[in-house]
Structure 1
Amino acid sequence: MRIALDAMGGDFAPQAVIEGAILAKSSLPADVEILLIGREATIREHLAKHNVSPSLFGIINADEVIEMGEHPTKALTQKPNSSIAVGFGLLKAGKADAFCSAGNTGAMLVGAMFSIKAIEGVMRPAIAGYVPKEDGRTGIILDVGANADCKPEVLNQFGELGSLYAQYVLGIEKPKVALMNLGEEEQKGTMLTQATYQLLKANTKINFVGNIEGRDMFNDKADVVVADGFTGNVILKMAESIYEIMHARGIKTDSFFDQMNYEAIGGSPIIGVNGNVIIGHGVSSPLAVTNMLRQAQQMVTADIHTKIKNALNEHSS
């Protein structure tokens, strides 16, 4: 198994990224090879600082870097030898089984859509966020930022994509799918959520349990929460801020609140594309990078994109 990692992506790259890769190397299975993509001389310099042999990693040279503030489409076109572009090239060519980056989120989305492309039948790939549950389990919410405006049909498919991910990656049998809304009743919400409710209700491919409110986000009512990218992103960022505020005020946390720390998960997968892609937080620390790589290993092991492709083929036949 080969996991490609953008060594130049993130506010604290390359130092934090390479430190995270070193940490991950000792905890991942022996058959997992980490490919560090970026300026080779810089990568080797940072490995030497930690007295780590370059032979422990695959090093792929990429002279260019897409900065955080650059326009995604223009940057990918103008910088074909950037670490993000090279990473997607490896993924497309089958020379990597997953690609992770804490770099420019827009470039990661554009790269996924135009390089490995959406799985046939997927209307809009989604970014998923992990949701800690009070009982110790983990659920997901999608979308959390890729699609701010959605049609009911797209949200309905998010329910299917999320259900497959929860089943095969998180190991949840018959995941409960719910629609985030401003009330539990069927007739509540906007025109979008009301129309989406009817599609989800009639969808025999998922275990739809109805609407949930924001207060139900962390309980056991749902394993998969469906939302448009605008709503999902607000929820995700608010959850992250709870941990940050508690940490800043010196409030003792526990295992539940610790899962709201972005470092604990490491990144957000893009679901619905022909490959395993994870977008890390821009301020990713070494621990966050380590957990992003672990998440990538889980996705590759589950072969989730193939499972989604097969499921959509079955439904269309």
Structure 2
Amino acid sequence: MKIGLDIMGGDYAPKAAVLGAIEAYKALPEEQKLVLIGDKEIAVSILQENNVSPDYFEFVHTTEVIGMAEHPTKAIAQKPGSSIGVGFKLLKEGYIQAFSSAGNTGAMLVGSMFSVKTIPGVIRPAMTAIVPKLKGGLGILLDVGANADCKPDVLLQFGILGSLFGQHIYNMQNPRVGLMNIGEEEEKGNMLSLATYPLMKDTALFNFVGNVEGRDLFGESADIFVCDGFTGNIVLKLAESFYMITRKKGLKDEFFDRFNYEPHGGSPILGVNAPVVVGHGISSPEAIKNMVLLSRNMVESDLVNKIKQAFV
């Protein structure tokens, strides 16, 4: 297995990415190889500064970078030689089996859809986030930003994608899928949620448990929380702030410590034809390591083929 890592993406690249690659290398078995995509000279220099042999890695050299603020579609089209562009080329050709980056999220989404493309039957790919449960364990929230506007059939598919992700990556048994809403009652909500509810209620594709509210996100009402990407991104950013606020206030609490993004690594783009993971722009070496390991887990679990089978 070869796992591609964009070492030029992220606010602290390439140093954080290369240091994260070192930690990932330590956690990977010998037959799983990391392919570092980006400026080889800089990467080798960082490795040598940390007394790590460059021979532990493969390199695909490129110096072009898609900036965090660049327009995703234009950047992918105009910069095929960028680290993200090259990464997707290698993924499409099958040279690497997974690709991850802490770079421009929009470019990663566009690159996924233009290169490896969406799985037949999937209307729109989705991105996920992990939310901690108060009594232990975790939940999965999707979409968290890939699709600001959604239609009911898209949310229905998010339920399928989230359920399969929970089963095969986090070993959830028959995960409970809830529809994020402003009330538990079937007749509550906006036009989108009102139209989505009967679709989910009638499906046999996942274990639908009804509407869930924002206060249920950290409880036991559901395991998979489905919403449009506009709502999901607002919820995600609010949840991320909990961890930062407790740190700034000097509070030490096991539950709020689990809001730290680093142990989860990144957000997979579910619904495309290969494992793709997007890391937080501020990813630390620890987060980069876990982003790589999540990519590896997606390959080992054969998640993409399991999603394909669900959409046949």
TM class, shorter-chain normalised? over 0.9
Matched, 1:80 2:80: yes
**For residue 188 of structure 1, what is the amino acid of its counterpart?**
K
State the secondary structure of the residue aligned to 2:189: coil
For 1:257, the equivalent position in structure 2 comes to 256
The alpha carbon displacement at 1:259 in A equals: 2.0
Aligned-residue offset at 1:312: 1.1
**2:267 is the counterpart of 1:274:** no
**Cα deviation digits, residues 250-295 of structure 1 (max 9, x gap):** 10121x3222111121100000000000000001111110111111
Question: 3-state DSSP class of the match of 2:234?
Answer: helix
Aligned partners of 1:227, 1:305: CA distance in 2, in Å?
Answer: 22
User: What is the rounded CA distance, in whole Å, between the counterparts of 2:31 and 2:212 in structure 1?
Assistant: 42
Equivalences for residues 1-317 of structure 1 within 5 A: 1-254=1-254, 256-313=255-312
AA partner of residue 266 (structure 1): G
Deviations 1:69-94 (CA, angstroms, capped at 9, x unpaired)? 11111111111110001111111111
Tell me which amino acid in the other structure corresponds to 1:280.
Answer: G
Report Cα offsets for 1:169-203 as digits up to 9, x if no partner: 11111110000000000000001101101110011
* Identity %, equivalent residues: 56
Code of the aligned partner of 1:236 = L
Q: Per-residue displacement from partner, 1:80-126 (whole Å, max 9, x unpaired)?
A: 11000111111111111110100011100000010000000000000
Structure 1 unaligned regions, length at least 5? none
> Secondary structure in 1 aligned to 2:311?
helix
Compared with structure 1, are the counterparts of its residues 244 and 212 closer, same or farther at alpha carbon in structure 2 (3 Å cutoff)?
A: same
Contact 1:2 1:98 in 2 (8 A): yes
- Give the residue type in structure 2 aligned to 1:293: V
**CA RMSD of superposed structures (Å):** 0.9
Confirm or deny: 8 A CA contact 1:258 1:264 kept in the other structure: no
Partners of 2:311 and 2:77 in 1: how far apart? 31
Distance in 1, Cα, partners of 2:119 & 2:229: 19
- Once residues 302 and 257 of structure 2 are traced to their aligned partners in structure 1, the CA distance between those partners, rounded to angstroms, is 28
Q: Which amino acid aligns with 2:122?
A: V
Alpha-carbon offset, residue 303 of structure 1: 1.1
Q: How far does the alpha carbon of each residue in 1:28-68 deviate from its partner, in whole angstroms, 9 at most, with x for none?
A: 23322111100111111111111111100111111211011
User: Counterparts of 2:290 and 2:160 in 1: how far apart (Å)?
Assistant: 26
Do the aligned residues in 2 keep the contact of 1:127 with 1:144 (CA within 8 Å)? yes
Work out the CA distance in 2 between the residues paired with 1:253 and 1:56: 38
**Whole-angstrom CA distance in 1 between matches of 2:211 and 2:152:** 14
In 2, the alpha carbon distance for the partners of 1:204 and 1:272 equals 19
Aligned partners of 1:131 and 1:30: how far apart in 2? 32
Displacement of 1:135 after TM fit?
A: 2.7
For these two proteins, the number of residue pairs brought into alignment is: 312
Letter in 2 for 1:264: P
* 2:46 maps to amino acid: H
Q: Secondary structure at the match of 1:37?
A: strand
Alpha-carbon separation, structure 2, partners of 1:300 and 1:140: 19
How far, CA to CA, are the matches of 2:133 and 2:94 in structure 1? 35
CA–CA distance in 2 between the matches of 1:102 and 1:4?
12
Give the alignment's TM-score, normalised by structure 2: 0.98
The amino acid across from 2:129 in the alignment is G
Structure 2 regions of 5+ residues with no counterpart?
A: none
Distance 1:136 1:294 in 2: 22
TM-score, with length taken from structure 1: 0.97
Could you list the runs of 4 or more consecutive aligned residues of structure 1 that deviate by over 4 angstroms after TM superposition? none
For 1:119-169, what per-residue CA distance to the aligned partner results, in whole angstroms no more than 9, with x for missing partners?
000000001111211232122111000000000110011111111111111
